[in-house]
Amino acid sequence: MGERARSLTQAAAGRRGPGFVDEEGRWVSLKDPWIAAFLAWLLPGLGHWYQGRQAKAILFFVCIMGLFIYGCYLGGNRELGYARVVYASFRPGDMRLYYLCQIGVGLPAMPALIQAARVRQNKPPLWNNFMAPPRLGTDDGNPPTLSRLCYELHAYFDLGSLYTAIAGLLNILVIFDAFGGPLFPESPARKEQEAAQDSPSSVAPAEASETPGAK
């Protein structure tokens, strides 16, 4: 009876647009998956909030943004500027590939693009060098060079880079969940039913019933 109700729910769900049936048999609408995916990239958890999945939205926001903010805290200080581990730079001698992962958190990593644009235009960075790319060269000055950042922050620079990159990669998974919904494992009862239908023993009784009539 439960399998029948679930199949009827899925059939009715097909007429209501993209979505899925959760583990309790309730229909959850994904609304517009493309908008949900964009919102999920823009801010972790925002796409799930748009879909009405508030519990997951809060969970993803707290976990991913907590990891990202903690990495920004490790990778900076009052003197050097905060969040110095998040910056966009693809200049010769400073290819910041970490940023390709960090941009996965969306809007929180966008100030790095503003700072990078100002540096390219030979303008001073804003917000006390917040997410500003380091200055190329070896001489001391402001903003500090990459060598000085690594020297003064020690291992925290690498840890901050790693934490913020992992936060961005985790949000990629969140985006996929907002776009396509979760993947539920197939129930054992359904597997047994499909196996029984495909097994040769299910065909044998039908063939046996036809044999007496043929004689």
Average pLDDT over every residue of 184-212: 56
Q: What does the pLDDT look like over 8-28, one tens digit per residue? A: 444 444 445 677 776 666 777
The CA distance from 19 to 50, in Å, is 13
The fraction of the chain above a pLDDT of 90, given in percent, is 49
Q: How confident is the model at residue 5 (pLDDT cuts 50, 70, 90)?
A: very low
Residue 87: which of 123, 111, 56, 55 has the closest Cα? 111
- Sign (positive or negative) of CA dihedral 34, 35, 36, 40: positive
Q: What does the pLDDT look like over 72-122, one tens digit per residue? A: 999 999 888 899 999 999 888 788 999 999 999 999 999 999 999 998 898
- Our separate counts of H helices and E strands in the chain read 10, 4
Q: What does the pLDDT look like over 25-73, one tens digit per residue? A: 677 788 899 999 999 999 999 999 999 899 999 999 999 999 999 999 9
The CA distance from 136 to 146, in Å, is 7
The CA distance from 30 to 63, in Å, is 22
Enter the pTM of the model. Answer: 0.75
What's the confidence (pLDDT) of residue 191? 54
How confident is the prediction for the chain on average, in pLDDT? 82
What's the confidence (pLDDT) of residue 24? 64
Residue 165: which of 68, 60, 63 has the closest Cα? 68
